[in-house]
Structure 1
Amino acid sequence: MLTDTTCRNAHKHAKTTSGKAFKLSDGKGLYLLLTPQATGWGKCWRLKYRIDGKEKLLAFGTYPEVTLEQARQRREQARKLLADGIDPNENKKAVKAAKAETAANCLEVIALEWLAKKSQDKSDRPQRLLSHIMPWLGSKPIIDILPKDILACLRRLEERGTIETAHRTLQVTSQVFRYAVATGRADRDITQDLRGALPPAKTKHFAAITDPKQAAELLRAIDGYQGSFIALCALKLAPLVFVRPGELRAAKWQDFDLEAKEWRYFVSKTEVQHIVPLSKQATAILDGLKPLTGHLPYLFPSERTPRGDRCMSENTLGGALKRLGYGKDIMTAHGFRAMARTILDEVLGFRVDFIEHQLAHAVKDPNGRAYNRTAHLAERHKMMQTWADYLDGLKRGADVIPFKHKQR
């Protein structure tokens, strides 16, 4: 049997004079293998064993990183496996594979994968929100995470008085879990069990102009905007398409079919594809913008990224409106949605379900089933053109007295 002293001084053994590899046996198949190297002698633990009539070797690591006592413990573990008919080498591979699978299925790995696949923009907001979860749960396999674990993280935010952040963090975490379900690494989105667990966040109302006369003044002010041409195009397009500001900023040329006059993208809130019919006025804006940014991914790239790999800042449209004299207490980029919703219904008299579809809100048919994204698409094309023509009329000073002529 070997001793610590023997192992420590093995490189001085008489057999080293041959300059060839040799073994020092400890018994029961365990031995220390010494191999000549450029800087001395390497010392590696090996276990020789037989299974199914075949002789095999199992590596235990190097000495002194693996001590004599540790090597003996690993030998006994291997002998127990052999007694049960299990090949220690195959068991070692299985354990390694299981660890790799566990690492690949931890929450942080899945979250980073989801972030990398998000196509809307490269905002760091989702990553910042996830930072409230990852320090505590990031290394855990996603299937081992319980609703109470997530709630404990959210409670920390609640205790700091940032309940809105807690709600947004829960929403982003839910998207990660849904991605895990889609990729076969989770059975369900457990964040759904936390509905009602947090105090309600204060409803945030976005200032909006919904009076046609005031809308006419705003549209004329936008036409006179003296800032960057890219920001001007975004301002002009915003009332024509009335999508969420984040979706407008992150619009990509690859999602536009100017011949079909349609913009198809995935809604950030629901991850469902949405179709925006484009009016003649909208396509004219895009035609004017394309020579400038058509070679880049985004319609409205950030001026701080020469290569155009980031979209316009979330503050750009609000800042442009402020320069025009419309502070956030008067009009916001989100306010164009309220403007369209109100005037399309109360002034132009379009059906509410047409409007709600175009706002990418959840709309159900009489049987309670969600309409698909192409529902009433032809009618929505007509509605969007009528809306664009109406806005042109407002700018020209046409009659803006409300009338109601419900579409059937």
Structure 2
Amino acid sequence: MLTDTKVRTAKPRPKSYKIADSNRLYLLVTPSGGKLWRWNYSYDGKQKSMAFGAYPIVSLADARGKRDEAVTILSEGRDPAIARKLKIEANIEAGRMTFERVAREWHGNSKAQWAKIHASDVIRSLERDVFPTIGALPIAQLTPPLVLGVLREIEARGAIETAKRVRQRISAVFVYGIAQGVVENDPAERLGKVLRPLRKGRQPAITDLNKLRQMIKDAEEDNARPITRLALRFLALTAVRPSELRGARWGEFEDLDGRKPLWRIPAARMKGDLDRKEEPDGDHLVPLARQSIAVLRALWPLTGEGELLFPSNRHTHRPMSENAIGYLLNRAGYHGHHVPHGFRAAFSTIMNEWAERQGKDHDRQVIDLMLAHVPREKVEGAYNRAAYLPRRRELAQIWADMLLKGLPAPAVLVERPAKMTNEWSRRIVPKPVARDFRFRRRSEAA
């Protein structure tokens, strides 16, 4: 039998020669001084040989281990050389099965059961947050720390909810890979327990004017129904609650062609208990800036024949989905940064800071009234909801001028590419608006 000393001290000769070890393993010493491990075996009546590598890269102990592994395979009735070749090919193929490749297969297999917008959101989040980091790595070699690193990067930018959603999607890719036999386990399965918890209470909102303006610009440039784009802008201008916007009806608007355009939201649609909803003179009054009127003018050819300003894309008699604007913000990359309700916080923060800079402390009460906030010292039923209307109109215009500086006219939003999801969506192609356009009552239009 060979020893480490014999292997190390073996000298080259004019011709190659063998030094035998146990169980047909031997060291082949070449004239050039090379020392190669070889093993002879019989399979299916034929004499064969396998190479186990060169000394000293492969030690005597390593060579014996390779021989013993081959003997085990041979005892199972398999050819060790073929088994090794198949293993090499499997390893090469495993290297080709990157996370991105498997993820795209999973997405293609799953998207038929999803809404088109959701399917687009899913692949977009992977392309933005996952593929750049681990997309090119073999899925079978990914570990929990590698996946956690991806999620920590998302958390670092403050997108806590996005990190949780992405973890779920990564885990779904691994489950698909397990079913396909390209990976054995899911390293993302238990990472949800170590992610940062969601902040409870205040909803995420961008309260910096420049960043808010950029967010609106990014969202409006994304593919969406024209109605959804206009709804986003009208929500930003009026700072009403999203539920109040969704239920808006053309019949709630007054003097749209006059000098004092107003949106009168019925008390029954406002947030509050039953007493609040039944309160006399409890309507919320929203003075409209010029930019808000421009949104309504662009919207009128699309939905003016119906009751609702912002109807569903499937049923014109129902309000748009409560998630429509939120999905638009998410697709624009603001998931976890700003939600539709966040425009109220943005309006309050920016306008109160403006009032402080201008030395107009009294405007703080007016701003609260514009948000339908009732001061704590006031009794709900005794609160004058029509107070300070002229000043509210002035502040609404100041807000609109600041917010939309540099942004395109609403008519541009209508002309941009839209996601058509059904036959009704294809029918609402906007019509040219004449210069002498006037809002008409529905009875006049008929």
TM range (shorter): 0.3 to 0.5
- Normalising by the residue count of structure 2, what TM-score does the alignment of the two structures yield? 0.40
**More helix, by proportion:** 2
- Normalising by the residue count of structure 1, what TM-score does the alignment of the two structures yield? 0.43
Asked which structure has the greater CA Rg, the reply is: 2
Bigger RCO of structures 1 and 2 (CA < 8 A, at least 6 apart) = 2
